[in-house]
């Protein structure tokens, strides 16, 4: 529970910095840099790499923590020009994608810069996103 509160705090801080002027009333799920790439079936990360940072978000609609993190993460990605979000709904613990990537807990994030693994684990990825985005903005003010 302590880790979940820390994660939500980091995402909230990022949201505060980026959304001082309000939020997108149209929703962010239709954004071109946010894609659902799996609903339980196996997926290869390599098929979704780009030149920018790519965040792979493992989650499930039935888990409250995923329902809380998902929209905040989507809103953050919309504000970043060089980050893409690939959403993976594991559906169940026995799904092909959960077994393929040895998912033991969700939400789970994995971050790549191009084809290079930068961070693995929800807390670690959010800290990397914060370091890349929020800290330079705070230092500039």
What is the tens place of the pLDDT at every residue in 62-86?
A: 999 999 999 999 988 888 888 999 9
Please, which residues have CB within 8 angstroms of residue 78's CB and are 6 or more apart in sequence?
A: 24, 28, 31, 33, 34
Triad 40, 129, 117: Cα angle to 5°:
60
* Inter-residue contact 89 to 40 (CB < 8 Å): yes
Spell out the domain ranges in the chain: 2-22+31-140
Contact criterion met (CB below 8 Å) for 98 and 110: no
Second CATH level (architecture) for the domain 2-22+31-140:
3-Layer(aba) Sandwich (3.40)
Q: Reply yes or no on whether the pLDDT at 108 is more than 70.
A: yes
Tokens 């919309």 map to which residue? Answer: 78
Cα separations in angstroms, 50 against 28, 45, 46, 80: 20, 10, 9, 15
74 preceded by a cis bond (ω within 30 of 0): no
Q: Reply yes or no on whether the pLDDT at 109 is more than 70.
A: yes
pLDDT at 130: 81
């Amino acid at each position: 529970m302590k880790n979940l509160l820390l994660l939500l705090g980091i995402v909230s801080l990022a949201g505060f910095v980026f959304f001082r002027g309000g939020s997108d009333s149209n929703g962010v799920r239709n954004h071109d840099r946010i894609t659902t790439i799996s609903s339980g079936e196996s997926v290869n990360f390599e098929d979704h790499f780009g030149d920018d940072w790519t965040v792979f978000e493992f989650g499930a609609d039935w888990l409250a923590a995923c329902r809380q993190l998902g929209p905040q993460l989507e809103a953050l990605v919309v504000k970043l020009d060089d980050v893409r979000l690939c959403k993976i709904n594991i559906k169940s613990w026995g799904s092909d994608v959960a077994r393929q990537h040895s998912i033991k807990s969700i939400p789970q994030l994995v971050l790549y810069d191009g084809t290079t693994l930068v961070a693995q684990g929800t807390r670690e990825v959010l800290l990397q996103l914060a370091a890349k985005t929020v800290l330079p903005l705070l230092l500039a003010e």
